[in-house]
Amino acid sequence: MARLLPILVCPLIVFYLLSSFSTISATAEDQSYARSLDPKLLGLKKQKLSHFHFYWHDIVSGPNPTAVLVVPPPKNSSTAFGTVRMIDDPLTLGTNITSKLIGRAQGFYASASQKDLDLLMVMNFVFTEGKYNGSTITILGRNPLFNPVRELPVISGTGLFRFARGYAEIKTHMFDLNTLDAVVEYNVYVLHY
Ligand SMILES: *[C@@H]1O[C@H](CO)[C@@H](O)[C@H](O)[C@H]1NC(C)=O
Ligand SMILES: *[C@@H]1O[C@H](CO)[C@@H](O)[C@H](O)[C@H]1NC(C)=O
Ligand SMILES: *[C@@H]1O[C@H](CO)[C@@H](O)[C@H](O)[C@H]1NC(C)=O
């Protein structure tokens, strides 16, 4: 027994030393790459709620489309399941494409349902007007096309929209069944600093 004891105890000591070393080094690393910060240091004071209203123009037809097919439907299906269109859609103040341009919606949408016309929308709204010029809002959500009002989450943003969250309520203003061109009204509610 006296001879067995060191053999049993040694691996335990080694194990203990190794695990305590790794604990110490992990703590040291944690401290070197993460720290807690006063939000005021980043200028994050009072959170505010902003409402944006504009129209999104999806131009599929004609010589200058703003939405282009990048992945055609892999199988013949009524919902064109799997289709992906890349977009760089103008955002304007009014319903007419000639009204004031305030930014663009860059991203893609994809047919994500085998049964219904549900799109997965992934977009960055890049504002180009006024104090929001250069700031972006990121949208990622489900767009069931046949619902009169759809809700898309605002997942975050950049510039004046750092730490943003919120949602967009969207309504189809115009949809042309022949050309597939669409104008959609956006009401976006964003909490940001
Ligand atoms: C696709 O399916 C529809 C209805 O199921 C059928 O009428 C049409 O011919 C099919 N098209 C192709 C290219 O297979
Ligand atoms: C958009 O405005 C232009 C003039 O700026 C006008 O010619 C055109 O008819 C308008 N389109 C719609 C759909 O109202
Ligand atoms: C928006 O910002 C860009 C780049 O900083 C600048 O070139 C452009 O003139 C600005 N537009 C407006 C309307 O302020």
Domain presence at residue 18 = no
Q: Say which range, 4-18, 92-106, 160-174, has the weakest mean pLDDT.
A: 4-18
Is 32 a pocket residue for ligand 2 (Cβ < 6 Å)? no
Per-residue pLDDT band at 74 (split at 50, 70, 90): very high
Convert the pLDDT of each residue in 79-118 to its tens digit: 999 999 999 999 999 999 999 999 999 999 999 999 999 9
Residue in 84, 103, 83, 85 with CA at minimum distance from that of residue 93 = 103
Domain presence at residue 32 = no
Does position 191 have pLDDT exceeding 60, yes or no? yes
Ligand at minimal distance from the CA of 95 is: 2
**What is the whole-number distance in angstroms between the Cα of residue 133 and the centre of ligand 3?**
6
Return the amino acid letter for 24. Answer: I
CA 127 to CA 103: how far, in whole Å? 4
Is 98 a pocket residue for ligand 2 (Cβ < 6 Å)? yes
Domain count for the chain, please give it.
Answer: 1
Per-residue pLDDT band at 2 (split at 50, 70, 90): low
Q: Which residues line ligand 3 (CB under 6 A)?
A: 128-129, 133-134
- Cross-strand bridge partners of residue 50: 190
Domain presence at residue 175 = yes
pTM of the model: 0.82
Domain presence at residue 51 = yes
The parent domain of residue 86 ranges over 45-192
pLDDT score recorded for residue 63: 97
Domain presence at residue 99 = yes
Which of the listed residues 127, 128, 129 should we mutate to test ligand 3's pocket, taking the one with most ligand atoms within 8 A of CB? 128
Q: How many H-runs (helices) and E-runs (strands) does the chain carry?
A: 1, 9
CA 103 to CA 97: how far, in whole Å? 12
Per-residue pLDDT band at 4 (split at 50, 70, 90): low
Does position 14 have pLDDT exceeding 50, yes or no? no
Length of the chain: 193
Hey, whose CA ends up nearest to atom 14 of ligand 2? 96
Average pLDDT over residues 158-170: 97
Hey, whose CA ends up nearest to atom 13 of ligand 2? 96
**What is the whole-number distance in angstroms between the Cα of residue 148 and the centre of ligand 2?**
25
Convert the pLDDT of each residue in 28-56 to its tens digit: 555 688 899 999 999 888 999 999 999 99
Return the sign of the alpha-carbon dihedral for residues 18, 21, 27, 30. Answer: negative
Domain presence at residue 23 = no
Identify whether the C-beta of residue 172 lies closer than 8 Å to the C-beta of residue 158. no
Domain of 86, CATH number, reads 2.40.480.10
**Average pLDDT for the chain:** 89
Hey, whose CA ends up nearest to atom 9 of ligand 2? 96
Q: Say which range, 12-21, 41-50, 73-82, has the weakest mean pLDDT.
A: 12-21
Domain presence at residue 132 = yes
Average pLDDT over residues 109-131: 97
**E strands present in 36-111:** 48-58, 67-71, 84-92, 101-111
Does position 6 have pLDDT exceeding 80, yes or no? no
Convert the pLDDT of each residue in 135-150 to its tens digit: 999 999 999 999 999 9
Domain presence at residue 39 = no
